[in-house]
């Protein structure tokens, strides 16, 4: 599912935005929700689709039946609930995953993890307890 905003005050801008969107190829359109590098989000972030975060989130993240990818530039200070969590950046908070938590090279977690499976690459960092989710 692609997200495209056409909300604007000037109808000419909406037409230009629609024309630009029509020119994009299918590969260029986003297939998941995305929080960019320059975004700072405070509160409860909820999604019903896969999500990638490259910015900063403080609070909680709920993506119960989908995958969360924490990008290499991300700074997450939040509790996370998702089906699967892949971490390339920094997470501080409790992580609960139905399926798997994967801490990649350069990724770090400071907090407890509850998941059915945990994978950690060389260069990954974990400071906290791990509990197996059954």
For 22-51, the pLDDT digits (tens) are 444 444 445 677 787 888 889 999 999 999
The answer to whether residues 111 and 69 belong to one domain is yes
The answer to whether residues 51 and 27 belong to one domain is no
Asked whether 70 and 88 are in contact (CB, 8 A), the reply is yes
The answer to whether residues 83 and 101 belong to one domain is yes
Could you tell me the pTM of the whole model?
0.76
Span 86-107, pLDDT tens digits: 999 999 999 999 999 999 999 9
| Overall number of domains in the chain | 2
Handedness of CA 104, 110, 115, 118 (dihedral sign): positive
**What is the span of the domain harbouring residue 16?**
1-31
Handedness of CA 14, 18, 23, 27 (dihedral sign): positive
The answer to whether residues 27 and 69 belong to one domain is no
Given this model, what pLDDT does residue 74 score? 95
Given this model, what pLDDT does residue 31 score? 63
The answer to whether residues 39 and 18 belong to one domain is no
User: ∠ at Cα 121 (117, 122), nearest 5°?
Assistant: 145
The answer to whether residues 59 and 9 belong to one domain is no
The answer to whether residues 27 and 49 belong to one domain is no
The answer to whether residues 27 and 38 belong to one domain is no
The answer to whether residues 40 and 93 belong to one domain is yes
């Amino acid at each position: 599912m692609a997200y495209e905003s056409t909300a604007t005050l000037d109808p000419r801008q909406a037409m230009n935005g629609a024309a630009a969107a029509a020119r994009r190829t299918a590969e260029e359109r986003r297939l998941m929700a995305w929080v960019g590098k320059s975004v700072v989000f405070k509160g409860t972030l909820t999604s019903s689709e896969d999500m990638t975060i490259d910015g900063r989130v403080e609070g909680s993240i709920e993506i119960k039946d989908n995958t969360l990818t924490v990008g290499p530039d991300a700074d997450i200070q939040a509790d996370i609930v998702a089906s699967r969590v892949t971490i390339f950046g920094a997470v501080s908070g409790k992580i609960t995953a139905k399926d798997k938590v994967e801490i990649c090279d350069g990724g770090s977690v400071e907090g407890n993890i509850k998941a059915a499976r945990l994978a950690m690459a060389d260069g990954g960092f974990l400071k906290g307890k791990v509990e197996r989710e059954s």
